[in-house]
Amino acid sequence: MDENNIGIAPVPIPPKLSITENKPHFYLEDIINDCLPQEDLQPFFFDASKIDAVLIFSQKYIGQPDELGYELLEGFITELQALDRIPNDIIFLHKAVELCADSSPLLPCLQRLQERGCRIKFCENSAQFFGFQDVISIGSSASPADIINICLNSKKVIRF
């Protein structure tokens, strides 16, 4: 033993990693199972139907509060629910919380998005301020801190 190496911990050797074959597909099961606890596996699964993005709507229109602005918003959400890939989250702030209410004509589109795994959130402060907290029938309330965390943990945030 070399005198210069006294007190130095040995370098751990990583486990032997292998790829197993199952029919025509290759899986990294051994790598994942040997190196990570089961609760850490979720981030490694890719959902091709979702985009790591957040859409934020703060008004009941896009652009200007005129007929075209209202039609654009309706068209965007209607088309969004029909796309192959949808965002992880949609957040409604300010007057847009009304779009989550029972009387909203966009409710069926938002329900379809939610069924497909899109998380619908509405600002609890906005819902309370405008008196919608008792008539909102889709999504879940989010505090300003929740909304900030959702945005900071997403790859892309788009505000309309």
Q: Count CB atoms within 10 A of the CB of residue 57.
A: 24
Mean pLDDT of 83-112: 96
Distance separating alpha carbons of residues 155 and 55, to the nearest angstrom: 12
- The token duo for 46 is 């890719």
Q: Convert the pLDDT of each residue in 13-54 to its tens digit.
A: 655 544 444 443 344 444 445 554 555 555 555 678 899 999
Residues 108-151: tens digit of each pLDDT: 999 999 999 999 999 999 999 999 999 999 999 999 999 999 99
Write out the two tokens for 53. 């993005």
**pTM given for the model:** 0.71
pLDDT tens digits, residue range 59-85? 999 999 999 999 999 999 999 999 999
Structural domains of the chain ordered from first start: 16-44 (no CATH), 50-159 (3.40.1260.10)
CA distance 110 to 95: 16
CA distance 145 to 55: 17
